[in-house]
Amino acid sequence: MTLQQRYETVASSVARACEACGRDAREVRIIGVSKTVGLDAVEQAVAAGIHDFGENRPQELVRKHDAFPGERWHFIGNIQSRQLALVVGRACLIHSLYEESHARKIDRLAADRGIVQDVLIEVNDGEESKQGIAPADLASLLRVCATLPHIRVRGLMTMALRGNIESARRTFAELRMLRDTMGATPDIAAASNIDLRELSMGMSDDYPAAIPEGATMVRVGRAIFSDDYAS
């Protein structure tokens, strides 16, 4: 299949998953994870109708953002403090914030540039090998972010265990419940720069399981960009 056909297959799958659980497909944004492809593939993806892209390396974010500045570029990789200056202001949304020190540096960089940087808090599903904040520590980090005027927390992100759909669904459901709990916590709900409506969860192998649990963004790479991806 062509990239256009693969994207249409993903979009159709998202629409079916939304219909099955009574959601509007317009509530779910497909982020094309372009971290393994070059500028030519990004150009094809834009022509196919993709306008949100995810990158996990700051240098690649810079290269592709500067080549396609009219598209929306998401940073989905591990945050390295020394490279945050490349990310802040280029990324429309940083999906992977989970350390207080990084939150404070993002705030300082955004202040220097006269912007407010949108972020998601990455929550760890319990796997020790993964990054992300423990659910029990989320409220504390949100309260720190509430004091940082150049950060806006738009929601939460997680990565589920690959290869086990039932486990993934539990991870997605737990993130939704955690979001709802935080959203009902009075001081967090009252913070003007915290709006937890976004849930970034689900990738090529498990995004249909994330949609019934409330995903508003799915991060899809191989299913769109890989010639040999088998759905």
Written as one letter, the residue type at 209 is A
Whole-model pTM: value is 0.96
Least confident of 63-67, 127-131, 144-148, 168-172: 127-131
Q: What is the pLDDT of residues 7-18, one digit of tens each?
A: 999 999 999 999
Question: Rounded distance, CA 52 to CA 50, Å?
Answer: 6
Using 50, 70 and 90 to split pLDDT, how confident is the model at 39?
A: very high
Confidence (pLDDT) at 126: 72
Q: Beta strands 52-55 and 72-75: pairing type?
A: parallel
SS3 for 133-152 is ECHHHHHHHHHHHCCCCCEE
